Chain A
Amino acid sequence: MKIEVKNLKKKFSEEFILKDISLTIEKNKSTVILGQSGCGKSVLIKTIYKLFNYDSGSILYDGKSEVDTDKFSMLFQYGALFDSLKVSENIAFTDFINNKTKFEKKVISLMSDVGLDRSIYNKYPSEISGGMKKRAALARALYKNPKVIFLDEPTTGLDPINSDKINELILKVIKNRKMTAVTITHDIKSAIKTGDYYFFIDKGIIQDKGDCKKILKTKNKIFKSFIMGANLKS
């Protein structure tokens, strides 16, 4: 699915978080959105997902303003697994709450796809590690076979080894399932590894965009200082 965002503005209590965002998310490609904390990255993807309303501008999904959000899925920053449900019930959430019982085979297959051991099938989220939670949350996001997957900082809170594993997993899943992916990250290494195109947001506007493989050759000063880990107040 191709998604076109034009002149998007979104404010929270009189303050504009997204000031004028225009970008295109290409079908079956992996788009990465970069920016420092609080620049509005999560607000942007939640607005595209229709979890938030926007103040002005437009979002077109394959040229139409209406979309069935059932085609979307999201991996949240900290997984957002439901604490009171087992891992398997989290993954098959929609079937589970509708009292459908035949989800075991599909859940086990998904758990294997995301590298989760069968032994955690009946465990609760509090009983598994951060990396496992991310994998379980990814399995939940894939359960409904989405056309577009939104990944909100998928490697946050993970050590470098686990971050790398999650990046490889995301790459594999996106390629195998031919999905459109939109990933939010601070991590340049992850962006280069998992993305096709990038957009860099600062102060509510797109400051830079381009090919992920050429991120390090950017000429944009603000993005350069972000890459170098400097403060963006230039």
Chain B
Amino acid sequence: MKFIENIGELIIKLLSNLGKFILFILFFCKYLFKPKFFLRNNLNYFINIFISTLPIIALTGIFSGMVLALQSYTGFSRFSAESAIPNIVVITLTRELGPVLTGLMVSARVGSSIAAEIATMRVTEQIDALKTLNTNYYNYLVTPRVLSLTFALPIFVTIVDFIGVMGGYIVSVYKLGFNENLYLLNTIDFLSLGDYLSGIFKAFAFGFIISIVSCYCGLFSDKGAFGVGSATTNAVVISSILILSSNYFLTELFF
């Protein structure tokens, strides 16, 4: 009996959180179109995200491209299809690995910091202070973070795509002995605009998921140091799961 009670309690809690999250998104949409828009806040946040995340995603891109080239070679050399390596590297990066790996890295780097910052603000009553200063926290805290990250992620993905292809090029040319001009020519010829745009579309979706989940986890965190820790962990775990699961449906959309 106790077991069933516990399951019921868990389901109620899950549904209640889901309802709260949906309401949160609806409120975000409502205030997105309200005139009070802190332009300086948006711009500052965008620059901060960009500077702090660029080195991490650059490393992610280059090593992903290098590993991809090496692994593809191992497989393709078994049936003499080594020439397909530039094609595989570029299509895998632009359609799949670029957006997903960038999403996961940004969720760990930026999502956790958004959740921790907002949760700390909540614990130290800064959110209440905002209300007493007649400032809507959706306008002041949520909108800048969501917009900045939603628009930053496609730029990050473009950078990861480019650096990843360069990583594949370095390994293919300097380690596997490919002709450098032929490698680049194959890459450019094979890549279509649709491949690139499908990755960019995913990046917009992932940017929105990471930022909205992180803001929600921060704003509705429990009190105290434990609350801040849980908010941070939840933000990264939930957004990573949502990135991976929504990736399937987005891929099917562009299949």
Contact = CB atoms under 8 A, between A and B. Distances in A.
User: Do A and B interact with each other, yes or no?
Assistant: yes
Interface of A: 46, 49, 51, 69-70, 72-74, 76-78, 80-83, 93-94, 97, 99, 140, 144
A69 B135 contact: no
B27 to A, nearest CB: 16
Nearest to B134: A70
A80 B40 contact: no
Interface residues of B, number: 16
B38 A97 contact: yes
B128 A94 contact: no
Interface in B116-160: 121, 124-126, 128-129, 131-135, 140
A51 B128 contact: yes
B222 to A, nearest CB: 12
Given A78-B124, A80-B124, A99-B40, A94 B135 contact: yes
A73 B133 CA distance: 8
A28 B135 CA distance: 27
Contacts of A46: 128
22 contacts: A46-B128, A49-B132, A51-B132, A69-B134, A73-B132, A74-B128, A74-B132, A76-B128, A78-B125, A80-B129, A81-B126, A82-B126, A82-B129, A93-B133, A93-B135, A94-B133, A94-B135, A97-B38, A97-B40, A97-B135, A99-B40, A144-B133
Given A97-B140, A99-B40, A80 B126 contact: yes
**Could you tell me the dominant secondary structure of chain B's interface residues?**
helix
5 A-B pairs with the lowest CB-CB distances in the bound complex, closest first = A80-B129, A80-B125, A76-B125, A74-B132, A80-B126
Contacts, number: 44
B248 to A, nearest CB: 37
B247 to A, nearest CB: 33
Q: Determine which residue in B121, B129, B134 has the highest number of CB atoms from chain A within 10 A of its CB, and name it.
A: B129
Contacts of A74: 128-129, 132
A90 B125 CA distance: 14
Interface in B138-186: 140
Contacts of A144: 133
Given A49-B132, A69-B134, A72-B132, A97 B41 contact: yes
Nearest to A68: B134
A47 to B, nearest CB: 12
A73 B129 CA distance: 9
Contacts of A77: 125
B129 A76 contact: yes
A49 B130 CA distance: 13
